[in-house]
A and B are shown apart, each in its own frame.
Chain A
Amino acid sequence: MLVGGFIVLLLIFLIAAILVREASASFQAFGFAFLWGTQWNPATNIYGVVPFAVGTLLTSGIGLLIGVPLALGSAIFITTQAPTWLRGPVGTVIELLAAIPSVVYGFWGLYVLGPYMHATVEPNLQHFLGWTGLFGGTASGTDVLTASVILAVMVVPTISAVSRETLAAVPAAQKEAALSLGATNWETTRVSLIPYARSGIIGGIVLGLGRALGETMAVTMTIGNRDTVPTSLLSQGQSIASLMANELTSTTGPLQYSAIIEAGLILLLISLLVNVSARLLVWRVLKVGGGIVE
């Protein structure tokens, strides 16, 4: 049994160890310049992670920008505003979003969302918001923006579920105190529920960020897969995860292979960091709020 317990711990170290080993060739060749290299060129054998780091951060960032308000809105609706009979069913349906496989999201992005973005959303963005410079280039439907919208849909169930759980963990006395002072429904939520659940909600958002950073299939199928730094939201790009999905098994040489693994190692470290901080935040609220966990 002791051995079994250690396997989970061991697994994480084993993954890190083998990635470090395979990334060492790339690290020796480029050193820290890998971190700010904007070139990814198999012909000259020069590799830098910036195009994919930008692709990953941009899609996740915009995904959260769109997804967070929706997730918080639905969490607040379910925990505080909806009639009681509606709460369970709506919560369950939103959680179903988490059960749909990411490759199906990608498929939907490729055949439904992408063409819609191409025909309707992107021309309008170019027409009305073109002056911001964010929407240059030609609209194609498979680009950074489409990948971001897919990610927004995918992070909603994660953020919404954690927010709901932490909002529900707020002691009833907090809410009753605000109501007894004559606060309206929204004022109660704002002054007593949200501050109490704040770090749990932030934890949920960070957890959603972790999911977005590492999402592979949906992004691979919608981002356009081009190994350059995106110049606008309508450019094709590549995230670290989609780089691995597209190029790991078809490398031109050992150095490119090693560089891809090094990019993967960076993704692993970022997502470890993100997940550890998210769990700590969520655990803290649930532990304080009414002793639900411990």
Chain B
Amino acid sequence: MRFDRHARRKWFSHAITVLAGLSVLVVLIPLASILYEAASIGGPAFSPSFFTQTSATPCSPTPGHPCSLGGIGPALQGTIILVGLAGLISVAVEVAAAVFATEYRGRGLGRAISFTADVLTGIPSVIAGVFIYTYFVLYDPTIVFSTLTGALALSVIMIPIVTRTTEEALRTVPNSIREAALALGISKWRTTLQIVFVTALPGVLTGALLSVMRGAGEAAPLLFTAFGSRIFFQGLNKPINALPLLIYNFAESPYQNWIELAWGAALLLIILILVVNVLSRLMIQRMVRRMRGQ
């Protein structure tokens, strides 16, 4: 009897292991399918002109009449400009906010700020677009759909992310460094800016990189701001395209060459994001190891 019961318990434990392992496999199916589709349809679209040209006129191929593809040049350029601008805006704000939150923590306000940043990260990204859109409809309707509003909407999303990662980077700086600086008679704010901040710089940059990649994948906030366009950058006050916007617009179109471009753009976006993700992970690991003096 005792032996039977023991066997049953062991068997049950093994069954759970199998079930848990199965759930991992089920979770990996969509990932594999997405990567396969993007690579098999989008991969063949890659060519030098894919990255530089504007998209071709819409068409679906019929026997004997192949379609020209064109490229995603304007969207790629737009994404670079938008996330670049948004990155500059956010880093300026975020760094100040995070330095404040970490270096003056323990006074309640620092905690409140990092908590708010956490909560702000969870707010739907579409709300950021609605916020910027309604603001400009009210106060400056001439540039509602423009590069500027697109960058602002993205920075609303990116600000809380870099605030958090910067704070975490500052936290890895050992207290002994702060104390050493203070013991030498350096003022608190100079210690923060010139000693602590510089030590944490790789981590801060990694955070900025991560938030830029998050911004590069966002389409929802750009629907009402950057709006999309089929031509290259025309000025800060004019609409502009971006890779996620192109994917959304072309995916819903009935034309085969546009759908192919959308898969190509999806593949490019996935590759960019995965590469940056892996790189930043390595950077963080290296930094943590260095701080521990290993």
Contact = CB atoms under 8 A, between A and B. Distances in A.
Contacts of B220: 102, 216-217, 241, 245
A159 to B, nearest CB: 11
Interface string A229-240: 000000000000
Contacts of A153: 27, 30
What is the interface of chain A mostly: helix, strand, loop, or mixed? Answer: helix
Interface in B263-285: 263, 266, 269-270, 273-274, 277, 281
Nearest to B33: A112
Interface string B94-107: 11110111001000
A278 interface: yes
B124 A271 contact: yes
Interface in A207-266: 207, 210-211, 213-217, 221, 241, 244-245, 248-249, 261, 264
Given A4-B93, A81-B21, A106 B112 contact: no
A281 B131 CA distance: 29
A213 B125 CA distance: 11
A73 B24 CA distance: 7
Contacts of A74: 20, 23-24, 27
Contacts of B224: 248-249
A110 B113 contact: no
Contact of B27 (A9, A76, A97, A184): A97
B34 A104 contact: yes
A8 B251 contact: no
B174 to A, nearest CB: 16
B127 interface: yes
A1 interface: yes
Given A90-B24, A99-B274, A100-B270, A111 B122 contact: no
A185 interface: yes
Contacts of A160: 27
Given A22-B134, A77-B21, A268 B247 contact: no
Interface in A266-289: 267-268, 271-272, 274-276, 278-279
Nearest to A278: B122
A81 B17 contact: yes
Chain B: interface residue count, which band? 35 or more
Nearest to A273: B119
A27 interface: no
Contacts of A21: 138
Contacts of A248: 130, 133, 223-224
B170 to A, nearest CB: 13
B177 interface: no
Contact of A7 (B93, B125, B248): B93
Contacts of B273: 99-101
Interface in B107-147: 109-110, 112-113, 115-120, 122-128, 130-131, 133-135, 138
B120 A73 contact: no
A104 B266 contact: yes
Contacts of A5: 96-97, 100-101, 104, 109-110, 113
B106 to A, nearest CB: 11
Q: Which 6 A-B pairs have the closest CB atoms?
A: A4-B96, A214-B124, A73-B23, A101-B217, A5-B100, A77-B20
28 contacts: A4-B94, A4-B99, A5-B100, A15-B156, A18-B135, A19-B130, A93-B28, A96-B31, A99-B277, A100-B34, A101-B216, A101-B218, A107-B263, A108-B34, A184-B13, A187-B9, A210-B122, A214-B125, A214-B127, A216-B126, A221-B248, A241-B220, A244-B130, A245-B126, A245-B220, A261-B130, A264-B126, A264-B130
